[in-house]
Amino acid sequence: MKLHNFLPATLLFAGLASYAQHAKPLIKLQPLDPAFNTLVSKNAKADILATGFLWSEGPLWVESQKMFLFSDVKANIIYKWTEAKGKQVYLKPSGYTGKIPRGGELGSNGLGLNTKGQLVICQDGDRVVSIMDAPLDKPAAKYTKIATGYNGKKFDSPNDLAFMSNGDVYFTDPPYGLEKNTADPLKEAKYQGVYRISNGKVTLLTTAISRPNGIGIFPGEKRLIISSSDSLKANWYVYDLDKNGLLTNGKVFYSAQSTVKHNNGLPDGLKIDKQGNVFAAGPDGIWVFNSTGKLLGKILVDDLASNLSFSADQKTIYVTNNHRVIRIKLR
């Protein structure tokens, strides 16, 4: 039935106008420091780019192709979004290439571009970090594995990654891609690790974070930040990077522990802007910190935010937001 067959046009349009006025906005700004307003305009706008995903993750803006890539972890697909064509399947299978049917987070997760401009993929289902062996504009499900395990033991499920200018790749390995998490019989290591790939060699950097998740390297490449999505240790941790690129002097950058009991979500993916400000997915949206760990404010987002990616000019962020992806024009 069509509603306009039964309502006068004046009532119909009045009802639509009333709905629009009362519809819940996608974002709400919560400035906590004047510096927040220099990063996020009070007139910041958000819009939904695409919907219909099982769990969206791994956002990546690719400036050379003017496309936004992201993973649907549970569907084993990487999607792309462009202004011209909207949502399209970009790569399938994206993270699990095995033949035995399985559930859970089996697809790709974190995505990034290395110094050669190649697509690097955290593949949860195959439990490896790989490079797509195809051009960005002609994607194909062909992969070269660049990290498959450490000391003879498979990773659990590489989750997110960050890149050094010398080509080194840092990544986190929580248990979320295993169907039974830490209780999964296929789990091989007794810990959760953060690793580095350098010249083909994998190095274990720390096992101190129980659920390492988002990761980022500050400008200058002297410090690194890691989020912990453990509900009992809901923190962001910062480490110094020594001359060999190893982690030292670890400490809490900021703790969200007091908020997780009353808010939706946990510390997750993050990105760092050119000035060293951290935009981090966390409880109820995107948390914005300066480089020293001061909370400047929050972009409260309707529904769970898992990660984000900057546009090339860093005036826009693309957010993976549970069953959808959204764009927030910061300024």
Could you read off the pLDDT of 30-50 as tens digits, one per residue? 999 999 999 999 999 999 999
Residue 2 within any structural domain of the chain? no
Residues ≥6 apart with Cβ < 8 Å to 145:
126, 128, 129, 130
Tell me how far apart the alpha carbons of residues 211 and 194 are, in angstroms, rounded to a whole number.
10
Q: Does some domain include residue 7?
A: no
Is 324 inside a domain boundary?
A: yes
Q: Is residue 164 part of a domain?
A: yes
Q: pLDDT digit string (tens) for 172-190?
A: 999 999 999 999 999 999 9
Confirm if 233 and 227 have CB atoms less than 8 A apart.
no
Q: 146: domain CATH number?
A: 2.120.10.30
Q: Which domain holds residue 322?
A: 29-329
- The Cα-based distances of 201 to 89, 148, 319 in angstroms read 33, 11, 32
Q: DSSP string spanning 217-246?
A: E-TTSSEEEEEE-BTTB-EEEEEEE-TTS-
Residue 321 inside a domain? The answer is yes
Q: Specify the number of domains making up the chain.
A: 1
Percent of the chain with pLDDT over 70: 93
Please spell the DSSP secondary structure of 28-63, one letter per residue.
Answer: EEEE-STTHHHHS-TT-EEEEEEE--SSEEEEEEEG
| pLDDT value of residue 11 | 41
Rounded-to-5 percentages of helix, strand, coil across the chain: 10, 45, 45
Is 15 inside any structural domain? no
Q: Is 281 helix (H, G, I), strand (E, B) or coil?
A: strand
pLDDT of residue 24: 77
The answer as to whether 24 is a domain residue is: no
Q: What is the pLDDT of residues 250-295, one digit of tens each?
A: 999 999 999 988 888 999 999 999 999 999 999 999 999 999 999 9
* Residue 11, in any domain of the structure: no
Instruction: Please state the rounded mean pLDDT for residues 224-245.
Output: 98
pLDDT tens digits, residue range 194-225? 999 999 999 999 999 999 999 999 999 999 99
pLDDT over threshold 90, residue 121? yes
Out of 20-34, 77-91, 119-133, pick the least confident: 20-34
pLDDT band at 23 (very low <50, low <70, confident <90, very high): low
Residue 136 DSSP one-character state: T
Quote the pTM value: 0.92
Predicted confidence at residue 9, as pLDDT, reads 44
Average pLDDT, the chain: 94
pLDDT at 262: 80
